[in-house]
Structure 1
Amino acid sequence: MANSGVMKLVCLVLACMVVAAPHAVDALTCGQVVSKLAPCLTFLRRGGSVPGTYCIAMRSLNVAAKTTPDRRTSCGCLKNAYKSVSGINVANAAGLPRKCGVNLPYKISSSIDCSKVR
């Protein structure tokens, strides 16, 4: 009988732990990063005025990258995308966040060391 009471207590404690456990938060993925900034490709190649849709995309990415791992993922994805897409103008890529009033903790470039992003 005492054993039955202990088992009930263990089950109750485990149930409380499951209910009280923090909900898992989805991490930012490369697919999300690239899809958010895909509308900016024309500007990144040709420059010119920055349409509002580009800035909305840039702000959305900045908001989505809330943690250091997310910012590092974002950085690495942008770096890889930068290398794989031809015709991106270095100055346009580096200047896009500033033109949109977004403060990224790194420059968009093919040479950024994403492991140093905080």
Structure 2
Amino acid sequence: MKGVIIVVVVLAMVQLMVEPSKAISCGQVDAALAPCVPYLTGGGNPAPKCCDGVKDIKGMASSTADKRATCNCVKAAANRYPSLKDDAAETLPTKCGVQMDIPVSRTTNCDKYVFLP
């Protein structure tokens, strides 16, 4: 599992260096949320690196298009983990002290969700 996380982080970093002007990518979102997987699947409290990732996502997703793309990436990531606890996903931003417009959910319709600028 650690090897997979390291690979995702490295790929996200490479993509950031190669294409810094592109919109937010699912690779960036996956890398930011990778440290959150133990919390999202097992509960307890999110690790500091997880909360750093949540804060990074908030900082990256400033426009409505970025927020919508991020929402879709979060939704796709959540659907890859069948053991994800919905209540842990819902409370993740609050536990990290971050107010997010982007819901962490498997079921959100990101295309119809209204994101405030």
**Matches of 1:43 and 1:78 in 2, distance apart?**
15
Corresponding residue number in structure 2 for 1:56: 52
Match of residue 12 from structure 1: none
The answer to whether the Cα contact below 8 Å between 1:33 and 1:77 also exists between their aligned partners in 2 is yes
Runs of 4 or more above 4 Å deviation: none
State the TM-score, normalized to the length of structure 2: 0.76
Structure 1, unaligned runs of 5 or more: 1-23
Structure 2 unmatched ranges of 5 or more: 1-19
| Corresponding residue number in structure 2 for 1:74 | 70
**Structure 1 position 46, deviation (Å):** 0.5
Query: Aligned partner of 2:54: which letter?
Result: M
Quote how far apart the aligned CAs of 1:107 are.
Answer: 2.2
In the TM superposition, what is the alpha-carbon distance from 1:106 to its structure 2 partner? 3.4
Alignment of 1:40 with 2:36, yes or no, is yes
| Cα-Cα RMSD | 1.4
The residue that corresponds to 1:9 in the other structure is none
Q: Is 2:33 the partner of 1:26?
A: no
* Percent sequence identity over aligned pairs: 33
Query: Does residue 71 of structure 2 align to residue 104 of structure 1?
Result: no
Letter paired with 1:70? D
Say whether 1:86 aligns with 2:78. Answer: no
Structure number, greater radius of gyration: 1
